[in-house]
A and B are shown apart, each in its own frame.
Chain A
Amino acid sequence: METNQWLLIMAAGVVALPAIVAGLTIGRITSRSVDAIARQPEAGSRIQSVTLLGAALAEATAIYGLFVAIIMLFLRWS
């Protein structure tokens, strides 16, 4: 069916695009945090806290994409 094919293609796109952006963002966060720790090792624990928090917040948007794809495929809101 034509509707079914488009649903699958769009669901794959909805998952892939946020995942790409989240991966790049988390890579950038980690790189900056490693630079900051190398510059001032005493603040290491606090920088680690903030890094983990930023990474989890950035990853949440990728999870929103997965959630939308699950709703699209399994609840048939086409």
Chain B
Amino acid sequence: MDIGEEIKHILEPENIFTFRIGGVEVGVRNSVIAMWILTLVLVVVVRLLVKKLETVPGKRQNLVEAFVEMINNFVRNNAGEHHYREIAPYIGTIILFIGFMNMGALFNLVPDPGEIYDITGWGFLQKLPVVRIFPPTKDINITFGLAVFSVGMVFYKTLKIKKIRGGLHTFVEPVGLMLPFKMLDYVVRPLSLTLRMFGNVMAAYIMIELIYIAFPLVIPGVLGLYFDVFDGILQAFIFTFLTMLYMAEALE
């Protein structure tokens, strides 16, 4: 198996199906479909966790309440007392969503039909489609969308809380000379958020794939604990923490 071909296949995502809207042809990539599948699993899991809420909490509700309490305290410590109710729901959503998506390589349970065909030689395996779940954030477009959404949310919250005149006043807040730097911030911050998450997730995924080519048996699972789980959760936490810092700085 050619390692260069494998890496090229990972780095260049492909369209699964395309459809037309008006005169524009829109292609749907395999990372988008992986994101849909992972979102569906996350919605089902969360729905099961918040099924019946009672005043005296049981075991399941204790877990959910502990998580919400942790996010609230975290936002309150960093963003101040006044506005944490506006920020905390978005922060909790983002950290759950990105943390769950980055661990998507753990759900890769169905083996490739090509590999089984190499071992057994059954003919029908050549026609089966290849189903492979990978972390969707390894595609730079998805990461760019998330980063633009986060910075756009910062801007929207600033306008909503401080009312348009105050929101535009933050551009010249300490000294009037800060205007070009503040405008540059809105360009540089999405870029750095994008590249940080894309680079980390892509590098971890390529590493695990290469190890899987070399030793398929036990080692990818053990090393995957560091590369997939720890790295994914850390990067989701860093993304969320930076978004919260930008919001706290803009609302202050």
Report yes or no: A64 in contact with B195, Cβ–Cβ below 8 A.
yes
Interface residue ranges, B against A (CB under 8 Å): 7-8, 11, 77, 192, 195-196, 198-200, 202-203, 234-235, 237-238, 241-242, 245
Report yes or no: A63 in contact with B195, Cβ–Cβ below 8 A.
yes
In this complex, what residue of A is CB-closest to B4?
A74
Report yes or no: B234 in contact with A70, Cβ–Cβ below 8 A.
no
**B245 — which chain A residues lie within 8 A by C-beta?**
53
A20 interface residue per 8 A CB criterion: no
Report yes or no: A74 in contact with B11, Cβ–Cβ below 8 A.
yes
Report yes or no: A66 in contact with B203, Cβ–Cβ below 8 A.
yes
CA–CA, A70 to B4, complex, Å?
12
A24 interface residue per 8 A CB criterion: no
* B-facing residues in A44-68 (Cβ within 8 Å): 46, 49, 52-53, 56, 59-60, 63-64, 66-67
Which 9 A-B pairs rank lowest in CB-CB distance, beginning with the nearest? A63-B199, A56-B238, A60-B196, A67-B199, A66-B199, A67-B195, A74-B11, A64-B195, A63-B196
Within the complex, what minimum Cβ distance (angstroms) separates A78 from chain B? Answer: 17
Within the complex, what minimum Cβ distance (angstroms) separates B242 from chain A? Answer: 8
**A66 — which chain B residues lie within 8 A by C-beta?**
199, 203
Interface residue ranges, A against B (CB under 8 Å): 46, 49, 52-53, 56, 59-60, 63-64, 66-67, 70, 74
In this complex, what residue of A is CB-closest to B234?
A56
**A52 — which chain B residues lie within 8 A by C-beta?**
234, 237-238
Of A46, A49, A56, A70, the contact of B196 (CB 8 Å cutoff): A56
Report yes or no: B192 in contact with A60, Cβ–Cβ below 8 A.
yes
Within the complex, what minimum Cβ distance (angstroms) separates B188 from chain A? Answer: 12
**B242 — which chain A residues lie within 8 A by C-beta?**
53
CA–CA, A56 to B11, complex, Å?
24
